[in-house]
């Protein structure tokens, strides 16, 4: 048995969720622990045969204000906050006849659940817990003498201690519970603030996520990593090895890209950028044409489809090594085929909406911005050249613009027949990005005649449209906004090229 054990002689139990409470009450009762309780918890415990004293009998005050005030009383908080080794505290405890409370088991009103369910504002406000949060903070502050159990997630840990240490705890045990208690109260307060501050009036970075999943490592093996978030927000894993840090980055990039397409589409992602993408009438053709974009880079990447994957498509995908496959559905046979690779991660994409904000830590702070969800349509295009793009060119320009939006800046995308031909990404010069894309397209035998070009930002000089023209490209889409836009437009007019502007820049760093 550990040294310096402190016996639990009394406990206050006041919980919203009663599941699992019987086992704890049983362990406390057989060890002679005096139990105080309130309202529904008192009724639950007494109905199940446990001997319990009402908190109202201790305080001599009833629950008032519709239950808003039950435990907020010196005879409760004195019993929790009193320092057992402080002479003055001990004397006052005796003077005011305040019993010591060694264990506090309490949880909080389900505020977040009410918000998520779309409850009325008044109902949500009533689910802001006051007594419970106060009990948690008081008991956690006095962890030297008191055990705090702030949620049902801690029940199993408490049960183990009660059984293994015969109703006793060490200071380290109590400190461990206190850490989780303050994490719980911090998360709760954050949820309330975010609800009340929905209009963004108060500028404060407020995020608190209790659920953490350890990852094998970070971007590199020498870096430790965790994923903080609700696992229900992730695609459902049907098969394969544990998802890694880099997998998660690619999965997000894949989902963000495919979400911009409504027609059958397949994209292949490598290091957060598309190395293949095609829109077709059926998913098999979209897959084969997406792979043809760059079958070399595709190796070891991620395949994502926005339609169910059938047996025929699965057979073809299975010929190549891909780390992750994502789709909204799989036929039974397709899933059987894809599972032949033991470590391949197979994910079922649901309809979980992404967060409205994106965060990035840097230096000693955090950057926060709105997620870039704008998707251009034909209505957002302004033709700025004498020559107007054809209907099929407009389709290609919008397709390419979706891809360039999700490519690392500086980014250039070349496309034709709603197929990615090549992209130039992450270059310090837009000209270099274009040259990279042209060279890559030619290396795979693509004919750039009548292809289109998309740029994530404006052209500061006419050099890019000139290089594109000389490669055979006949239509261009970009945000516009340079004081020298006219030079690029003049070149297009002189050489029979069509150009449209969107007015929306899509940098991605």
Catalytic entry in 18, 54, 141, 187: 141
449 — phi, psi (to 5°)? -65, 125
Cα–Cα distances (Å) from 236 to 300, 347, 349, 431, 489, in that order, read 20, 5, 7, 41, 48
449 DSSP assignment:
T
Contact yes or no for 327/305 (Cβ under 8 A): yes
| Beta-strand pair 357-362/365-370 | antiparallel
Contact yes or no for 423/272 (Cβ under 8 A): no
**What stretch of H or E contains 194?**
helix 171-196
Contact yes or no for 274/420 (Cβ under 8 A): yes
End-to-end CA distance of the chain: 55
Catalytic annotation on 270? no
Catalytic annotation on 141? yes
Contact yes or no for 179/187 (Cβ under 8 A): no
Nearest-10 Cα torsion for 482, 483, 485, 490: -170
3-state secondary structure of 378: helix
Contact yes or no for 247/275 (Cβ under 8 A): no
Contact yes or no for 509/408 (Cβ under 8 A): yes
104 DSSP assignment:
E
Q: Please tell me the distance from the alpha carbon of residue 425 to that of residue 507, in angstroms, as a whole number.
A: 11
308 — phi, psi (to 5°)? -60, 145
Q: Please tell me the distance from the alpha carbon of residue 107 to that of residue 155, in angstroms, as a whole number.
A: 11
Strand segments, DSSP code E, in 164-264 are 168-169, 212-214, 226-228, 236-239
Spatial neighbors of 475 by CB under 8 A, at least 6 apart, are 389, 393, 396, 397, 452, 453, 497, 498, 499, 500
Q: Please tell me the distance from the alpha carbon of residue 78 to that of residue 438, in angstroms, as a whole number.
A: 76
Catalytic entry in 157, 187, 239, 271: 271
Cα–Cα distances (Å) from 136 to 25, 68, 111, 140, in that order, read 19, 16, 16, 6
Structure tokens at 426: 């992450």
Q: Please tell me the distance from the alpha carbon of residue 431 to that of residue 250, in angstroms, as a whole number.
A: 26
Catalytic residue set: 141, 271
């Amino acid at each position: 048995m550990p040294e310096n054990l402190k016996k639990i002689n009394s406990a206050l139990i006041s919980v919203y969720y009663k599941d699992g409470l019987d086992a704890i009450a049983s362990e406390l009762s057989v060890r002679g622990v005096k139990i105080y309780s309130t309202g529904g918890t008192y009724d639950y415990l007494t109905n199940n045969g446990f001997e319990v004293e009402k908190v109202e009998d201790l305080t001599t005050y009833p629950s008032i204000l519709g239950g808003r005030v039950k435990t907020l009383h010196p005879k409760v908080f004195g019993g929790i906050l009193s320092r057992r080794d402080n002479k003055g505290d001990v004397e006052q405890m005796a003077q005011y006849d305040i019993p010591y409370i060694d264990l506090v088991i309490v949880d909080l009103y389900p505020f977040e659940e009410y918000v998520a369910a779309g409850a009325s504002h008044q109902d949500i406000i009533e689910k802001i817990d006051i007594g419970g949060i106060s009990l948690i903070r008081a008991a956690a502050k006095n962890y030297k003498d008191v055990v705090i159990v702030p949620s049902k997630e801690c029940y199993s840990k408490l049960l183990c201690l009660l059984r293994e240490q015969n109703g006793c705890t060490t200071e380290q045990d109590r400190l461990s519970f206190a850490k989780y208690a303050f994490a719980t109260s911090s998360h709760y307060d954050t949820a309330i603030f975010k609800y009340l501050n929905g209009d963004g009036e108060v500028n404060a970075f407020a995020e608190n996520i209790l659920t953490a999943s350890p990852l094998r490592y970070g971007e590199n093996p020498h870096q430790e990593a965790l994923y903080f978030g609700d696992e229900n927000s992730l695609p459902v894993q049907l098969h394969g090895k544990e998802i890694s840090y880099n997998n998660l980055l690619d999965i997000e990039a894949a989902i963000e890209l495919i979400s911009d397409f409504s027609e059958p589409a397949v994209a292949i992602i490598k290091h957060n950028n598309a190395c293949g993408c095609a829109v077709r009438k059926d998913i098999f053709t979209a897959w084969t044409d997406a792979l043809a974009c760059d079958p070399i880079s595709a190796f070891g990447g991620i395949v994502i489809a926005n339609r169910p994957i059938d047996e025929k498509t699965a057979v073809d995908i299975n010929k190549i090594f891909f780390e992750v496959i994502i789709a909204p559905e799989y036929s039974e046979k397709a899933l059987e085929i894809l599972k032949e690779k033991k470590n391949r991660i197979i994910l079922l994409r649901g309809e979980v909406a992404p967060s409205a904000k994106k965060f990035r830590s840097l230096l000693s702070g955090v950057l926060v911005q709105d997620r870039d969800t704008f998707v251009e349509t034909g209505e957002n295009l302004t033709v700025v050249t004498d020559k107007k793009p054809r209907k099929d060119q407009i389709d290609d320009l919008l397709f390419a613009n979706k891809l360039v939006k999700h490519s690392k800046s500086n980014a250039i995308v070349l496309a034709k027949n709603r197929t990615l031909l090549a992209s130039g990404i992450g270059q310090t010069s837009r000209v270099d990005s274009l040259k990279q894309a042209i060279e890559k397209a030619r290396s795979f035998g693509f004919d750039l005649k009548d292809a289109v070009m998309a740029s994530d930002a404006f052209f500061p000089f006419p050099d890019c449209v000139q290089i594109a023209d000389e490669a055979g490209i006949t239509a261009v889409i970009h945000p516009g906004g340079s004081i020298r836009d006219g030079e690029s437009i003049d070149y297009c007019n002189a050489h029979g090229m069509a150009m449209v502007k969107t007015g929306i820049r899509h940098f991605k760093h």
